[in-house]
């Protein structure tokens, strides 16, 4: 897999700090799962975080180490455990395992989508599958639309996006994606905002998924 498009430093830093919206974070994670170079950049950021932690100013704790190891505190966990993740589906990114997926639904000629349920996320997340040569309508964004290509490819004004690539579009982008004529394309996308017709995916899916 030869990756040509990666998350910006800003996007990766937001991911590294855990501040990114969970839906957007999931699309970044899908890219990280397959791209060693982005994982190296992430580790660099984590290393910076570790250094900053070591050098930071301490604030006195209420408890001492001995308090913490005494009594039943060791069996105390954080909240209730989450329900067990569904069995992983073959061919899907591993980072999707904790999430429930809807069924594939046709949303047009040779286009189908399935929801990725991310409770509490601002972004809506979905997998999209389009047949070879499918052209998507020319459109603008009003929110963010982050995409990781899982297989196949598409092409638009900003370049060709193939398996593993990360496409970080925002309100500045206007594009007309065309799916690879031979391979088709499967991707995962997260779209933010509550405005109608906010992106090529949003525009296409809006009537069906009530974006």
Partner 1 sequence: MQRGPFVPLFDHNALIVAIARSADREAFARLFDHFAPRVKGLLMKAGTSAELAEEVAQETLLAVWRKAAMFDPAKASAGTWIATIARNLRIDIARRETRSRLSQVYEILDEDGPEQPDAAVSGAERDVRIRAAMTELSPDQYRVVELAFLEGLSHQDVARRLAIPLGTVKSRLRLAMSHLRGKLEDLR
Q: How far is the CB of 49 from partner 1 (least distance, A)?
A: 4
Q: How far is the CB of 114 from partner 1 (least distance, A)?
A: 17
- The two structure tokens encoding residue 37: 């170079």
Site for partner 1 in 70-89 (CB under 8 A): 73-74, 76, 78-79, 82, 85
- The two structure tokens encoding residue 52: 């900053």
- The two structure tokens encoding residue 185: 């394309």
- Between residues 95 and 174, which has the closer beta carbon with respect to partner 1? 95
Spell out the residues 6+ positions from residue 194 whose beta carbon is closer than 8 angstroms to its own: 211
Based on the shown chain and the rule CB under 8 A, indicate whether residue 94 belongs to the binding site for partner 1: yes
CA diameter of the chain = 65
- In 3D space, the residue among 70, 9, 81 whose CA is nearest the CA of residue 41 turns out to be 9
- Between residues 144 and 204, which has the closer beta carbon with respect to partner 1? 144
Q: Rg for the chain (alpha carbons), in Å?
A: 20
Based on the shown chain and the rule CB under 8 A, indicate whether residue 9 belongs to the binding site for partner 1: yes
Selected binder of partner 1 within 2, 10, 87, 90 (CB under 8 A) = 10
- The two structure tokens encoding residue 145: 């639309």
Based on the shown chain and the rule CB under 8 A, indicate whether residue 19 belongs to the binding site for partner 1: yes
Q: How many residues belong to the site for partner 1 (CB under 8 A)?
A: 59
Interface segment toward partner 1; rule CB under 8 A; list 114-122, 149-157, 163-171, 184-192: 114-122
Site for partner 1 in 35-64 (CB under 8 A): 36, 39-40, 43-64
Tokens 């998350």 locate to: 7
Residues that bind partner 1 (CB under 8 A): 9-10, 13-14, 16-20, 22, 25-26, 29, 32-33, 36, 39-40, 43-66, 68-69, 73-74, 76, 78-79, 82, 85, 94-95, 97-99, 118-120
């Amino acid at each position: 897999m030869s990756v040509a498009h990666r998350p910006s430093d800003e996007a990766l830093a937001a991911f590294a700090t855990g501040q990114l919206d969970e839906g957007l974070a999931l699309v970044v994670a899908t890219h990280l799962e397959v791209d060693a170079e982005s994982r190296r950049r992430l580790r660099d950021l984590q290393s910076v975080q570790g250094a900053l932690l070591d050098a930071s100013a301490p604030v006195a704790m209420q408890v001492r180490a001995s308090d913490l190891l005494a009594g039943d505190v060791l069996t105390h966990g954080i909240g209730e455990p989450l329900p067990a993740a569904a069995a992983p589906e073959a061919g899907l990114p591993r980072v999707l395992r904790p999430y429930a997926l809807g069924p594939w639904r046709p949303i047009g000629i040779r286009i189908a989508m399935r929801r990725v349920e991310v409770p509490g996320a601002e972004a809506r997340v979905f997998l999209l599958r389009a047949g070879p040569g499918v052209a998507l309508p020319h459109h603008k964004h009003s929110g963010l639309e982050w995409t990781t290509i899982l297989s196949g490819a598409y092409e638009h004004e900003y370049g060709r996006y193939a398996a593993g690539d990360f496409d970080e579009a925002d309100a500045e982008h206007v594009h007309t994606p065309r799916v690879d004529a031979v391979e088709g394309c499967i991707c995962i996308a997260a779209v933010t905002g509550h405005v109608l017709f906010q992106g090529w995916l949003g525009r296409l899916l809006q009537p069906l998924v009530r974006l």
